[in-house]
Chain A
Amino acid sequence: MSLAFRAVYWREMVKFFRFKSVLFSSLIQPVMWLAFFGLAMSKSFDKLTSMIPSTPGVPTVDYLTYMGAGIIAMDVLFSSLFGGTTLLFDKKFSLLKETLASPISRINIVVGVGLSGMTKAFIQTAIIIVFGRFIGMNFFKGYDPIQTLVSVVGIFLLVGIFTLGFLFLSGSIAITVEQPEGMQSILTLLSMPLFFISNALYPVDAFPEILQFLSIFNPLTLLADGIRYFALGSNFSVMGGHYIYTTADIAMSFLGLVFFALTMLSVVLWRFNKVDI
């Protein structure tokens, strides 16, 4: 790998800021999730769960704050899952040819696109954390500035690894399929189980066992857990449930996501080396 991935990164970012509609919608999307879905869901859940007594001596977290972590996870899931589409269009309009004909190895393209997606995910994460504050999402409650900083870094690290994994996955699909429609349908199919068999929006305790089991391996669960560990603390109760995150749990989140990202990296490199121009 050379520094040529910077060229790919630069190009992606130039176009991100150039297409005002893309820029605007990717910035407004997290706000909409939080404002509409978040507020609506949290009000209903809070109403339903207000009767349940909370565990004494454990800080109680309201549903909006609990779900905020899931919203970050979902928002970056969707943007990175669709992020590889840029490669599909590059391939379709034979723009990819120029890069593939150059002496740089193909990993530069993958890494450049991955890093640009990561940057966009960071922007979205920051928007959710900041905007969430205004509507009552209580991240980092009772933290001192140092703890807050460490938590923010932790969240960004997790989001970064997660995003790379899904961008590599998305890139592999983009480079393999021929039509945008095909890509669209594969992504929709993929996002369903990822989305629902996870604890992004609700605790998985009441899931049927098989789904509970599956949810453990879902990167979305790993990310949501990790964010909660950093944003809500290691010991809290929500909707009557008592949650304790141990160091082993957070290590699992990190390692699981790193494993996922590396697997996807090898998949995307394998697919890229098959591309004929």
Chain B
Amino acid sequence: MTTNVIEVNNLEHKYGDLKAVDNISFTVKKGEIFSFLGPNGAGKSTVINILTTLRKIQKGEAKVNGYDVAKESKEVRKSIGIVFQMMCLDYEMTVFENLEYHGMIYSMAKEERRKRIDELIKLTELEAKRNVLAKDLSGGMKRRLELARGLMTRPAVLFLDEPTVGFDIQTRLRMWEYLRNVKKQGTTIFLTTHYMEEADQLSDRISIIDYGKIIVTGSALELKNQLGKDLIYLETSDNKAAADILRTLESVKGVNEDAKFLRVMLGVDVTHILPKIMDLIGQNGIEITTVNIKKPSMDDVFVHYTGHDLREGKPEEKHDESKTVEALR
């Protein structure tokens, strides 16, 4: 039997006149990794802050582990672990002390506390760093320590707000491994991210969120399948005319016109249809300058549903870190 660990109905949140969260509803099932994927400023952090009771709910209803965030905030808090977007460790305390403090704050008995600390230090592979001050850890290790801390109380659900923002690719890959192990041990995970691969590789289900609205929800595979079997990127002398021609074909599921490219979504295998497409466009006197074939990725899914590129998104709200990591791809 699957139960819902998180249930959100018609949630709305405004900052002054700005609607940061616009009437969203979703559920997170027990034991799954659920991601909110969207650009910075899409409303992801607001949702996480409401669900973790750090921000008062304005309109709508939200339940975490069966408890109402508005009326039973204390119970909600006991049920969850949080890894904040900003690092918040006591740098002047050791790995052990940071965990010990957390356990004490949550009134865990000493024996249980020590046992849990040993388990988590092992899980996050910080054994050698147990008595090292947090300030002397690498960025990835600090994040792992925060992960361990979030898990101290064996929460029903772990919230992670942009868990790998600003990390290099290797560190991110490792972090994902840890998160998969956490899931294996039965913890439900809710995370927000603006990294496509993070949502793609890690999540059981993804909600794409943009301008405070959930655009679409599904598994990475389901979302990608919506875009057909294959994608062709075409650059032609007349993209508009070419798009009109392609739309008449039965095996073409859809055509997006980008600034430079045509993105052609196919319902059939590309190998059979490509020659026909090339011919058809050529016959109409349009010159094809570039052809690129690929399997649909989360990037394509995002563009398809939101109508804009995540990294072009809202430049004024963009993190510097994201720029560098995106550039590496």
**For A14, A94, A99, A101, which residue has the most chain B Cβ atoms within 10 angstroms?**
A101
- B102 part of interface (Cβ distance < 8 Å): yes
Chain A residues with CB under 8 A of B84:
94, 97-98
- B26 part of interface (Cβ distance < 8 Å): no
Q: Are B105 and A104 within 8 A (Cβ)?
A: yes
Pick the interface stretch among A2-10, A139-147, A211-219, A249-257. A2-10
Shortest A230–chain B CB gap in Å is: 36
- B65 part of interface (Cβ distance < 8 Å): no
Q: Are A103 and B78 within 8 A (Cβ)?
A: yes
- A273 part of interface (Cβ distance < 8 Å): no
B interface footprint on A5-23 (CB within 8 Å = 1, 0 otherwise): 0111011001100110000
Chain A residues with CB under 8 A of B106:
4, 102-104
- A248 part of interface (Cβ distance < 8 Å): no
Q: Are B92 and A19 within 8 A (Cβ)?
A: yes
A interface footprint on B94-131 (CB within 8 Å = 1, 0 otherwise): 00010001101111000000000000000000000000
A interface footprint on B171-210 (CB within 8 Å = 1, 0 otherwise): 0000000000000000000000000000000000000000
Take A101-B54, A101-B77, A103-B77 as given contacts and tell me if A7 and B88 are in contact as well, using a CB distance cutoff of 8 Å: no
Shortest B140–chain A CB gap in Å is: 19
* Number of interchain pairs (Cβ within 8 Å): 58
Q: Are B105 and A102 within 8 A (Cβ)?
A: yes
Q: Are B107 and A11 within 8 A (Cβ)?
A: no
- A93 part of interface (Cβ distance < 8 Å): yes
Segment 40-91 of B: residues with Cβ below 8 Å from A = 52-54, 74, 77-78, 82, 84, 86-91
Chain B minimum-CB-distance residue to A94? B88
Q: Are B105 and A99 within 8 A (Cβ)?
A: yes
- B24 part of interface (Cβ distance < 8 Å): no
Q: Are B105 and A93 within 8 A (Cβ)?
A: no
Chain B minimum-CB-distance residue to A3? B107
- B270 part of interface (Cβ distance < 8 Å): no
Chain A minimum-CB-distance residue to B102? A98
Q: Are B88 and A102 within 8 A (Cβ)?
A: no
Segment 1-51 of A: residues with Cβ below 8 Å from B = 2-4, 6-8, 10-11, 14-15, 18-19
Q: Are B101 and A101 within 8 A (Cβ)?
A: no
- A149 part of interface (Cβ distance < 8 Å): no
- B277 part of interface (Cβ distance < 8 Å): no
Q: Interface of A with B (CB < 8 Å)?
A: 2-4, 6-8, 10-11, 14-15, 18-19, 93-95, 97-104, 277
- 16 residue pairs of the A-B complex, CB under 8 angstroms, read A4-B107, A7-B101, A8-B105, A10-B101, A15-B92, A94-B87, A94-B88, A95-B88, A98-B84, A98-B88, A100-B54, A101-B54, A101-B82, A104-B105, A104-B106, A104-B107
